[in-house]
Structure 1
């Protein structure tokens, strides 16, 4: 049995170029040549591809990206890092959806939406 070596994350969207620009800024990716896609300039992370579809988003995502903005941090320090990244992403066009505070089992995270309403988390 062979192993998968690479994968691509595909977003359905109305405006592929706009959504691609947003995610390039969020992740520090660069536009891929010849299409609405973003790639990790270091070649480590997965390629993100944005395809135009005619229908609007109507339900919650079943899969989402988690942007690791608070890795290794806990408590107030983690929440401050997440809130700072949230402010940066809101300036890029994201929407703050809700903040989930640490509960003794899970650390804090922030649920957001990209420029077309796709959910993602800052964790």
Structure 2
């Protein structure tokens, strides 16, 4: 039997804000809240234990924005890349300086509303069931 990633925990200053952002990016819903202010989000209808990992946004007095040691990457599943980039930016993502700023080319690295970097992949993928 093999293991799988069941959840990813992101330390952050504002769990509400990041839960809303990542729910919008991934099509996730809120699954629960803990007494410490953590918010868990995941796929609708399956939640924890489903085929995709959940995200736990955990309040921290020392969040460290920038390049995470764990790299999150996203790609479009149901629209072209330019439309998906526009949607991510409308949700609050911002281009990170990956050497493409001002080149007119689609950014490959974005940041979430707290400045955590994630990659925007250049190829569409099929949605996970």
Shorter-chain-normalised TM-score: which range?
0.7 to 0.9
Aligned pairs for 1:27-106 within 5 A: 27-35=26-34, 36-41=39-44, 42=46, 43-57=50-64, 59-69=66-76, 81-98=80-97
| Runs of 5+ consecutive residues of structure 2 not aligned to the other structure | 101-105, 122-129
The Cα of 1:118 is off from its aligned counterpart by 0.7
User: Going by fraction, where is helix more abundant, 1 or 2?
Assistant: 1
Match of 2:23 in 1: 24
Aligned residue for 1:77? none
Q: TM-score, normalised by structure 1?
A: 0.73
In the aligned structure 1, how far is the partner of 2:28 from the partner of 2:77? 19
**Equivalent residues, number:** 108
Partner Cα separation in structure 1 for residue 67 and residue 97 of structure 2: 14
SS at match of 2:87: helix
Q: Give the match's secondary structure for 1:33.
A: strand
TM-score calculated relative to the size of structure 2: 0.70
CA deviations 1:37-56 (Å, max 9, x no partner) are 11112432101001111114
Displacement of 1:6 in angstroms is 4.7
